[in-house]
Structure 1
Amino acid sequence: MQALLLSITGRLYDEKQARLIEAIFVATGYPDPRLWCNRIVALAGSAQCPAGSALSAGVASAEAKVYGGQAEYYAARAFAECHRIFQQQGDDALFTHMKAVLKKERVMFGFGRPLTRVEERIGPIEKMAKEMGIKDGPHLTTVKHMEGMLKRYRLILNFAGYATARLLDLGLTAHQVHQFLTVCFYIGMPPCYSEAFENEPGTFLPIACEDILYAGLAERDVPV
């Protein structure tokens, strides 16, 4: 982890910081083939694709504005701007800014989860940071304050937002955060690839289009 941080930032981080970031990786990438990137890797493994092609496709699929690398990049930029406004202009200006963003974008990157309003992955990382004496930095402090202000919109800080704030407090730029978190899902991919590769080819999700019973509208021509 220290080597990865060094290659991206040109700086060597201490062991405690590296351990905390490694824990964030472990909490982010887990070997469940139902997850979008792991499913792609497993499908490639089931088709006996080479590991390089399969794993590269999995990493590429995590480059998405809705849930993946681009979301973290935009969150990093937004957090830096919100921190600047909070420090220079205070609560009211920050809340006004967030309302304007929500009105225009209909989303606040780093906040919200699709199926639950609980983020179970933050607690263990917070506990670990406290045990190692790593305090909240200015960006994470601002982001937690933002979460309190966004409760009226039922938006919680998600794990991607939390990880992004931690990395900003380590001195990474938005572009460096994007590079770093691009590979955070990778840790869960090799097990999915290996399992599918070792099983009988074509047995992962062996469903053809004709196997799906469709009861919707009949096939129709598209107007020209």
Structure 2
Amino acid sequence: MSLSENVGGFRTRMGQAFVGSRAVFRGHDLHADLKDLDWIELYAFGITGRRLTPQQLRVLHAVWVFTSYPDARIWNNRVAALAGSARSTGNLAMAAAIAVSEASIYGRGIDIRAIDFLQRTRRALDQGDALDALVRAELQAHRGIAGYGRPIANGDERIAPMMALLRELGLDQGAHVRLAFEVERFLLEGRWRWRINYAALCGAIAADFGLSAREYYLFNVPAFLAGMQPCYIEAAERSPGATFPMPCTHVRYEGAPARAWPARP
């Protein structure tokens, strides 16, 4: 659609606010048709245009809950904490912390690559390709597989509770979830010894729920948010600058040596 076709109005299929009257959300009256929706149900509906089942919504709640760590040492939480230490507003602190959650290794970048790999691999397997060849090709192309291995630990503490929930709800046998663990088995039996991590499992869950890579990415934007607020609050309650202070004596400096400056005349 050209620019000229959009002059003089705003065409949308998503919704519109009729101020003083009503608000339309994807063709539904927000205050009448959707008033009883859980917030995350509305959030997922806004992204996908579909109404997910109660079981699926419970799992998606857990995706966020199981990764809400109020640890200010974590890279994005640190931003929230430092913002509190600098006496920034909570809104700016959260916005900055969510922005750096785009990290390609630990954050949203790995989410996209994980679900993309699992969806591509599932389609290729359905067409008759062999799993070992597909995994080896991914390793050769990227020297790793998104969602497998973990730089800071051998294993992921979130896998067990998430799998327990999936088994409870009868959602543990989805095609992508089973594939995710088949890939882990191949990597563990080979020379790589990489275990599945949270990114691969959650990507597999999202794929089984019918989410695209973009939909899954958008759903996960606030995934760390619940852990950020406590970090901001605690830092704001301390003296300004008292969160992660770094004295000069703790910096390993390897630059030019100290110099004597001539006195001003």
What is the TM-score when the length of structure 1 is the normalising length? 0.90
| Structure 1 residues 11 and 213, CA gap change in structure 2 (3 angstroms) | closer
Q: What is residue 160 of structure 2 aligned with on the other side?
A: 123
Give the deviation of 1:114 after TM superposition: 1.0
> How many Å separate the matches in 2 of 1:4 and 1:217?
50
Which of 219, 239, 244 is residue 180 of structure 1 equivalent to?
219
| SS of residue paired to 2:178 | helix
User: Offset at 1:217?
Assistant: 4.0
Q: Is the 8 A contact 1:86 1:142 kept in 2?
A: no
Question: Which of residues 121, 139, 151 is equivalent to 1:114?
Answer: 151
Determine which structure has the larger helix proportion and give its number.
1
Deviations 1:187-219 (A, max 9, x none): 1101111111122211111214x23252x6443
* Alignment match of 2:171 (pick from 131, 134, 142): 134
For residues 115 and 135 of structure 1, what CA distance do their matches in structure 2 show?
Answer: 27
d(CA) in 1 for partners of 2:220, 2:65: 12
Report how far residue 136 of structure 1 moved: 2.3
- Please give the per-residue CA displacement for 1:59-100, whole angstroms capped at 9, x wherever unaligned: 01110111110111111111111111122214xx32112112
Q: 1:213 to 1:77 in 2, by over 3 A?
A: closer
How far does the alpha carbon of each residue in 1:101-136 deviate from its partner, in whole angstroms, 9 at most, with x for none?
212211101111113222221111111222223242
Stretches of structure 2 lacking an aligned partner (at least 5 in a row): 1-39, 258-265
Q: CA deviation at 1:147?
A: 1.1
Equivalent of residue 230 in structure 2, options 191, 204, 211: 191
CA distance, structure 2, for counterparts of residue 2 and residue 211 of structure 1: 51
Residue in structure 2 matching 1:148, options 185, 198, 202:
185
How many Å apart are 1:44 and its aligned residue? 0.2
Deviations 1:162-186 (A, max 9, x none): 0111011111000111111122111
Whole-angstrom CA distance in 2 between matches of 1:119 and 1:218: 40
Cα distance change on mapping 1:149 and 1:51 into 2, 3 Å: same
State the structure with bigger RCO (CA 8 A, min sep 6), 1 or 2: 1
Q: Is the 8 A contact 1:38 1:192 kept in 2?
A: yes
- Corresponding residue number in structure 1 for 2:42: 3
Query: Which of 61, 71, 74 pairs up with 2:110?
Result: 71
* Equivalent position of 1:97 in the other structure: 134
- Give the Cα separation in 1 of the matches to 2:68 and 2:227: 5
Partner of 1:206 in structure 2? 245
Shift of 1:140: 1.1
Structure 1, gaps ≥5 residues long:
none
Q: Contact between 2:149 and 2:155, CA under 8 Å: does it hold in 1?
A: no
Cα root mean square deviation, aligned: 1.6
2:207 counterpart residue number: 168
Q: Is the 8 A contact 2:156 2:198 kept in 1?
A: yes
